[in-house]
Amino acid sequence: MTQIKTITFACENSSQLASFWAEAMEGDRRDLPSYIDPEVVNLPGEGPDLLFKEMPKGTQRDLPIHIDLTVEDRELTVKRFCDLGASVRETKTETYGPNTETWTIMEDPEGNGFCVTEQ
């Protein structure tokens, strides 16, 4: 079986971005020895850890990562993420047959894109 162990973010300020995602995802920053420069956030439950490494990334249009999050209350979560330093690009609603889905496209403090939708 293949599983995702870590999702890596290229970033300019690994400490700041790790703090944002730790708060946003209710995770914990992992204590690492000082000679290890990436920052790691352990997420609650099972699933991959988030690793933040200071290194160049692609253009803003060609980001190396995008995360889709599902939550119980999209509007409340979007507000909480904005309070933590994220910004909203736009909110979209689409209908697929009998199903309608609304999601908000956001950027973390360094411009990495992610979406928030309801379960």
Mean pLDDT by 10 residues, the chain (119 residues): 74 93 94 81 90 76 71 94 96 87 92 87
Side chain identity at 88, as an amino acid letter? V
Sign of CA dihedral 110, 86, 15, 18: negative
DSSP run (H or E) holding 106:
strand 99-107
Q: What is the pLDDT of residue 8?
A: 81
Q: Does residue 73 sit in the same domain as residue 98? A: yes
Q: Does residue 8 sit in the same domain as residue 46? A: yes
Q: Tokens 């950027």 identify what position?
A: 107
Q: Does residue 33 sit in the same domain as residue 78? A: no
Q: Does residue 49 sit in the same domain as residue 21? A: yes
Question: What domain range includes position 38?
Answer: 1-57
Q: What is the pLDDT of residue 59?
A: 61
Among 35, 57, 79, residue at a domain's last position: 57
Q: What is the pLDDT of residue 5?
A: 78
pTM: 0.77
- In whole angstroms, how far apart are CA 27 and each of 30, 48, 56, 76? 9, 11, 25, 18
Cβ pair 118, 102 in contact under 8 A? yes
In 49-98, where do the E strands start and end? 49-54, 67-71, 87-96
Total structural domains within the chain: 2
Q: Does residue 29 sit in the same domain as residue 78? A: no
